[in-house]
Amino acid sequence: MAKKPKTTYYCQNCGTQHSKWMGQCNSCGEWNTIVEEVLETTASKAVSWKSSPQRGSSSIAPSKVKSIRDIETQQSVRTTTNDNELDRVMGGGMVDGSVTLIGGEPGIGKSTLMLQVVLGLNQKCLYISGEESEQQVQLRAKRIGIKNDDCYILTATSTQEIFRQIELNEPKVVIVDSIQTLHSQLIESSPGSVSQIRQCAAELIQFAKETDTPLFLIGHITKDGNIAGPKILEHMVDTVLQFEGDRHHVYRLLRANKNRFGSTHELGIYEMVGEGLREVSNPSEILISKRDADLSGNAVAATLEGIRPMLIEIQALVSTAVYGTPQRSTTGYDTRRLNMLLAVLEKRCGFHLGSKDVFLNITGGIRVDDPAIDLAVVAAILSSNEDIALPPKICFAAEVGLSGEIRPVSRIEQRISEAEKMGFDQVFISSHNKLQEGKFGIKVVRCGKIEEVFQHLFG
């Protein structure tokens, strides 16, 4: 009598394991997401990277307990990707044996970015595509421009076939597009299921660590914006990158949600053009519109993304509420913080905005969480409310407190230097910021309360 395969139940939304089927997942609360999956199959099919017949048996050195002072450390060797934006977000380049997971919406440009990286490297690379044919990948490569003749394409979804080709070709960098399309013979469930993603990722990570090969995994995302598959997938990898942007806009943002080898506060900006993704070295130029006429409701803020200062334009529209209940709508900014600033203007400064609609937009399709743009948001709202345009060559870099005070922000000198480089004449900062006098050619206006800012701007 054949042995019944071992099965369990997984939530396809969050990856939580259950002992039996249920209509609703106890972990994430989603309905009808729990499915039964086969965990293991016969021993004859159990082939992984470590036990592959081509590799033979691997000898693992026994582990010993060591004092923390006796452990020898060595500097991680980084290899540049020849992409300045990607290198910045990853902390300086690729680390040998590192595993990077890149997620993003469909059509945002994940495959284009990774293909562009391998085509620009001076190493032997293997691009594994489980979604597109060889001809489709080659057409994209010709459009981008083939600079690396040692770039090889493999269209396969079986991890055992992938490892066989890796051993034959011995690439220095491996790209997998995408992890949701792969399947392993160890698991009988369908590709894209929780158990398949976990098993395939584990085999690939084991390969990367044993061979010191940089590995990039492209991942799909769910409707909630999270990377599809079990949450443990993000814990297994070394770096998690998020590729963001609107498909209707040309600019794309690359952020690090997790990075074991660098900071998670860096931002990479690309422009989608016909030849692929173009690096944007000076984001201040693209985020500030060139206006021919002075319009009310526009203000410029000096913000920071990691160590990169940049200027962004904030647009506000304040109008009388015609539908009874005032609307509060934001694009690229936290709506709750907008409500807080409006309450400060109403309570502390005497501006009657409770019966008016307020719409706020950060140009360029980016999202900013830096509190240093608070003063620029307030200035844009007051400009639209008074219907008076702000002078075109001023910017703001300060936080607004609940009592209406102007609070200092960090690294103010970098913000002022960026504003001066972009040709601005004045910058409004907090009076509590310590700054060396006469260091900058731009006029620095110090303010302690919102009323002082209003007097300077509108008299």
State the binding site for ATP.
104-111
Rounded Cα gap, residues 251 and 379, in angstroms: 26
Cβ–Cβ contacts within 10 Å for residue 382, how many? 25
Residue with tokens 């409701």: 297
How far apart, in Å, do the first and last CA atoms of the chain sit?
91
For the chain, what is the HEC assignment? Answer: CCCCCCEEEEECCCCCEECCCCCECCCCCCECCEEEEECCCCHHHCCCCCCCCCCCCCCCCCCCCCCCCCCCCCCCCEECCCCHHHHHHHCCCEECCCEEEEEECCCCCHHHHHHHHHHHCCCCEEEEECCCCHHHHHHHHHHHCCCCCCEEEECCCEHHHHHHHHHHHCCCEEEEECHHHCECCCCCCCCCCHHHHHHHHHHHHHHHHHHCCCEEEEECECCCCCECCCCHHHHHCCEEEEEEECCCCCEEEEEEEEECCCCCCCEEEEEEECCEEEECCCHHHHHCCCCCCCCCCEEEEEEEECCEEEEEEEEEEEEECCCCCCCEEEECCCHHHHHHHHHHHHHCCCCCCCCEEEEEEEHHHCCCCCHHHHHHHHHHHHHHHHCCCCCCCEEECCEECCCCEEECCCCHHHHHHHHHHCCCCEEEEECCCCCCCCCCCCEEEEECEHHHHHHHHHC
- Cis peptide upstream of residue 193 (ω within 30 degrees of 0): no
Rounded Cα gap, residues 249 and 252, in angstroms: 8
Give the residue numbers of the binding site: 104-111
Rounded Cα gap, residues 80 and 274, in angstroms: 25
